[in-house]
Amino acid sequence: MSSEEWELIDGELRELRRREADWDYIRGLPPKLREAIEVYIETGDLWISAKIAGMTADEFNEIRIRAGILH
């Protein structure tokens, strides 16, 4: 697969995360968590998002599910 094809897949996944996210829930989160969730939506990277939130990957995963982001 070429770079362009991978970028397309990444872009589609990012768009899917943006669409499925419960933005009302996200807007109600404390700033640090909100930033972390937004990083997750953009990157799909659980570990780095968890570290931004000051959490373990496992704890952050629960927030991700509550925010309706399943991809």
Partner 1 sequence: MSLPSTCVLDACFIIDWSRWRRRHLIKEIFSAGFMPEITLREVITEKPLRALRELILDGWLTVYPHSRELEEEAVSLILDARRDPRIPRIDPPEALCSILARRLGSALLTENRGIIRAYWLMREKFSPAIVLNSLRLQKLGKKAYGFNRGMNC
Binding site for partner 1 (CB under 8 A): 1, 3, 6-7, 10, 43-48, 50, 56-59, 61-62
In the complex with partner 1, the residue whose CB is nearer, 13 or 29, is: 13
Could you tell me how far CA 65 lies from the centroid of its own chain? 10
Shortest reach from residue 44's CB to partner 1, in Å: 6
Could you tell me how far CA 71 lies from the centroid of its own chain? 8
Taking the C-alpha atoms of residue 46 and residue 50, their distance in angstroms, rounded to an integer, is 6
Shortest reach from residue 18's CB to partner 1, in Å: 17
Shortest reach from residue 11's CB to partner 1, in Å: 12
- The helix (H) or strand (E) run that includes residue 58 is helix 57-66
